[in-house]
């Protein structure tokens, strides 16, 4: 007799940036009872992120089960063809069908709450509330319409993200940021429980982001090994991250108790890990020193001053000054992490001053992605594709491997790749040409490369836009799994984020589209269970298109962004 479907339902709880670096010590103190129970009753292990381990591409890999070369996202910014301008990514930037699109197309009912990169919301068979990269609650960020109002009525409020402030905040402000994050977690749980109880579902995913947003800001207060740790603040600000994790653990317990019966599989995942951030790496400055990048002659102001002047003049003017296509994109980037936002402004100013006729390569983003200034691709490209490009790439990779931390002698990038060896698929041509992978200890700065000589700089109050951050992403996120057929007390090895979509489809007894690069995490399951229910691969002939509303670029959205930025102290 053939066994029936593996599980009737799947509940996924996303904890953005959750890491065993925090979970393990907190669990040892008995502070995370629900996650500890998951480990006893189910399987657990690290979950390898994408390269780079950044939320936008990581969640895209999760939802499509493919590598960046197929879904086509390599950072928060994507290069505009034939220009040195950048657009900000959102759900529309992702090629390929999402897990919830596939399930919807097969008649399954889904509820998807606050997953990054889902704005504008797809028309799924169920409910979708978009997450990171959503303009705000005033935008049409739910499918169907009206969900926001419903949640406000039931739960009192609904928030997409915490308002992360930049710069140096007072201890009181930081503590209230912690309170706000905890309130947001509670609202998210309320929203999830309400939707789950009032709508039918086969697949439900609820996403919490406080574990990422606050880890950037609060790491040094908690981690006594961090160079900027202040013991005087350990009892107050040092308790914020543990409190956030305890609140998330409580949410995990509540959702499972209310929603997961014996026929429901539960997956708890993060998109990347976290660890202490200690130094900034000025990558474009390094490229300039190595002769790969040149600045226009006669530029007097450094980009930091220019950016500040421009910002003081008001956001509209600032953006107009920088590059007009930005205006229409502003609403998207304004709502993601502040460092990314600020770094982007700076990099645009810096790029405007580059002498492209003498520039072979430039870095973009906060991770370690480098692009050649390629003839035929970049408007003023100087590197000939083919042999010359290969030679520049080879030399650049060799140089990048030699870039060391002056304090420790360690290489800044523990791995250096050609984009073409990491990524494959129809969008591999948009990949960075050289990819340096660093640990959480370093934060890459791709602007502000003229005013100074040092490439690797310790964090401190004089570092203007990373000084208020002390945590950064790491490659290894977390996975907890429990449910029918899933082994108990088992540590799973070598699990990757891109394996989750096929694993979830398998869990629901669904065939896995052959286009997916991830694979079912077979070692999660008891061997006899697996033997009776072998995974099936199916041809995926469906058109890989999103379905959703057209974007609106309203003045209201832009004004909301301006206010948001002003509220962050960004327009002083
Ligand atoms: Zn993330």
The Å distance, Cα 271 to ligand 1 centre, comes to 5
Residue 197 CA to residue 241 CA, distance in Å, equals: 30
Res 541: pLDDT: 65
Residue 104 CA to residue 158 CA, distance in Å, equals: 25
Instruction: Please answer whether residues 466 and 280 qualify as being in contact, where contact means their C-beta atoms are separated by less than 8 angstroms.
Output: yes
Residue 419 CA to residue 432 CA, distance in Å, equals: 5
568 located within any domain: no
The structure tokens listed for 345 are: 């402004």
24 located within any domain: yes
CATH code of the domain in which 221 resides: 3.40.720.10
572 located within any domain: no
The Å distance, Cα 353 to ligand 1 centre, comes to 31
* 265 and 349 part of one domain: no
Instruction: Please answer whether residues 352 and 359 qualify as being in contact, where contact means their C-beta atoms are separated by less than 8 angstroms.
Output: no
374 located within any domain: yes
The Å distance, Cα 16 to ligand 1 centre, comes to 5
Residue 273 CA to residue 554 CA, distance in Å, equals: 36
The Å distance, Cα 333 to ligand 1 centre, comes to 15
The Å distance, Cα 313 to ligand 1 centre, comes to 32
Q: Which of 481, 71, 93 is nearest to 264 (CA)?
A: 481
* 97 and 243 part of one domain: yes
Which range of residues forms the domain containing residue 212? 9-274+475-558
* 486 and 456 part of one domain: no
The Å distance, Cα 386 to ligand 1 centre, comes to 36
* 418 and 485 part of one domain: no
* 72 and 205 part of one domain: yes
* 13 and 139 part of one domain: yes
Give the contacts of 558 (CB within 8 A, at least 6 positions apart).
327, 330, 331
The Å distance, Cα 59 to ligand 1 centre, comes to 8
322 located within any domain: yes
Instruction: Please answer whether residues 134 and 126 qualify as being in contact, where contact means their C-beta atoms are separated by less than 8 angstroms.
Output: no
Residue 280 CA to residue 412 CA, distance in Å, equals: 10
Domain C-terminal end among 424, 444, 472: 472
Query: How many domains is the chain built from?
Result: 2
Instruction: Please answer whether residues 164 and 338 qualify as being in contact, where contact means their C-beta atoms are separated by less than 8 angstroms.
Output: yes
The structure tokens listed for 516 are: 């997916």
Packing angle between helix 33-41 and helix 20-28, nearest 10 degrees? 100
363 located within any domain: yes
Plot region of 420 (φ>0 → left; ψ -120 to 50 → alpha; else → beta): alpha
* 463 and 484 part of one domain: no
Domain C-terminal end among 472, 503, 533: 472
Residue 154 CA to residue 213 CA, distance in Å, equals: 26
Cis-peptide, bond into residue 120, ω within 30° of zero: yes
Order the strands of the 413-418 sheet from edge to edge.
361-364, 369-372, 434-438, 413-418
CA-to-CA separations, 433 to 81, 173, 296, in angstroms, rounded: 15, 42, 24
Domain C-terminal end among 419, 453, 472: 472
The Å distance, Cα 38 to ligand 1 centre, comes to 22
The Å distance, Cα 53 to ligand 1 centre, comes to 8
The Å distance, Cα 54 to ligand 1 centre, comes to 6
* 234 and 376 part of one domain: no
* 283 and 396 part of one domain: yes
* 270 and 303 part of one domain: no
> If you search the block for the tokens 């580059």, which residue do you land on?
354
143 located within any domain: yes
Segments of the chain scoring below 50 in pLDDT? 1-2, 300-301, 309-344, 346-347, 464, 552-553, 557-559, 561-572
The Å distance, Cα 298 to ligand 1 centre, comes to 40
The Å distance, Cα 4 to ligand 1 centre, comes to 36
* 420 and 464 part of one domain: yes
3 located within any domain: no
Q: What is the DSSP letter of 296?
A: P
Q: How confident is the model over 386-410, as pLDDT tens digits?
A: 999 999 999 999 999 999 999 999 9
3-state SS, residue 206: strand
The Å distance, Cα 411 to ligand 1 centre, comes to 25
3-state SS, residue 136: coil
What is this structure's pTM? 0.88
Give the contacts of 196 (CB within 8 A, at least 6 positions apart).
111, 204, 258, 259
The Å distance, Cα 117 to ligand 1 centre, comes to 11
Res 170: pLDDT: 85
* 542 and 554 part of one domain: yes
The Å distance, Cα 137 to ligand 1 centre, comes to 21
The Å distance, Cα 532 to ligand 1 centre, comes to 36
């Amino acid at each position: 007799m053939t066994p029936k479907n593996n599980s009737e339902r799947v509940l996924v709880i996303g904890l953005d940036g959750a890491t065993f670096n925090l979970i393990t010590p907190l669990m040892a103190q008995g502070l995370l009872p629900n996650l500890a129970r998951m480990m006893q009753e189910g399987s657990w292990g690290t979950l390898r992120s994408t390269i780079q381990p950044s939320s936008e591409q990581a969640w895209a890999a999760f939802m499509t089960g493919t590598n960046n070369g197929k879904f086509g996202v390599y950072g928060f910014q994507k290069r505009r063809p034939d220009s040195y301008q950048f657009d900000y990514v959102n759900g529309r930037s992702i090629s390929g069908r999402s897990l919830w699109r596939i399930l919807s197309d097969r008649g399954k009912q889904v509820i998807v709450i606050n997953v990054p990169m889902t704005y504008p919301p797809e028309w799924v068979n169920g409910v979708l509330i978009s997450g990171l990269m959503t303009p705000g609650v005033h935008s049409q960020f739910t499918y169907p319409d009206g969900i926001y109002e419903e949640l406000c009525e039931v739960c009192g409020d609904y928030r997409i993200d915490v308002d992360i402030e930049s710069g140096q905040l007072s201890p009181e402000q930081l503590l209230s940021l912690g309170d706000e994050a905890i309130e947001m977690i509670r609202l998210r749980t309320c929203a999830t429980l309400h939707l789950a109880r009032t709508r039918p579902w086969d697949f439900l995913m609820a996403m919490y982001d406080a574990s990422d947003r606050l880890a950037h800001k609060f790491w040094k207060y908690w981690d006594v090994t961090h160079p900027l740790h202040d013991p005087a603040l350990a009892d107050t600000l040092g308790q914020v991250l543990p409190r956030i994790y305890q609140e998330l653990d409580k949410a995990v317990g509540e959702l499972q108790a209310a929603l997961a019966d014996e026929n429901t599989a539960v997956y708890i995942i993060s998109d990347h890990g976290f660890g202490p951030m200690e130094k900034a790496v000025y990558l474009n400055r390094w490229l300039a020193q190595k002769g790969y990048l040149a600045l226009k002659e006669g530029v007097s102001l450094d980009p930091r001053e220019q950016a500040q002047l421009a910002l003081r003049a008001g956001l509209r003017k600032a953006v107009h000054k920088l590059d007009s296509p930005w205006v229409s994109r502003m609403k998207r980037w304004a709502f993601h992490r502040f460092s990314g936002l600020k770094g982007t402004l700076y990099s645009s100013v810096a790029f405007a001053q580059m002498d492209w006729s003498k520039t072979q390569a430039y870095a973009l983003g906060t991770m370690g992605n480098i692009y050649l200034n390629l003839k035929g691709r970049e408007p003023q490209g100087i590197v000939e594709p083919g042999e010359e490009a290969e030679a520049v790439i080879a030399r650049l990779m060799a140089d990048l491997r030699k870039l060391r931390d002056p304090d420790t002698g360690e290489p800044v990038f523990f791995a250096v790749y050609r984009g073409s060896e990491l990524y494959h698929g129809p969008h591999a041509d948009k990949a960075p040409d050289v990819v340096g992978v660093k640990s959480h200890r370093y934060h890459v700065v791709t602007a502000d490369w003229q005013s100074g000589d040092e490439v690797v700089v310790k964090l401190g109050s004089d570092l203007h836009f990373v000084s208020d951050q002390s945590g950064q992403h790491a490659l290894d996120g977390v996975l907890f799994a429990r449910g029918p057929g899933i082994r108990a007390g088992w540590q799973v090895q070598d699990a990757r984020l891109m394996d989750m979509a096929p694993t979830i489809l398998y869990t629901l007894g669904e065939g896995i589209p052959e286009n997916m690069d991830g694979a079912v995490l077979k070692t999660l399951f008891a061997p006899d269970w697996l033997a009776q229910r072998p995974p099936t691969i199916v041809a995926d002939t469906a058109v890989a298109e999103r379905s959703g509303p057209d974007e609106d670029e309203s003045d209201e959205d832009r004004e909301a962004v301006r206010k948001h930025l002003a509220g962050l102290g960004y327009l002083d």
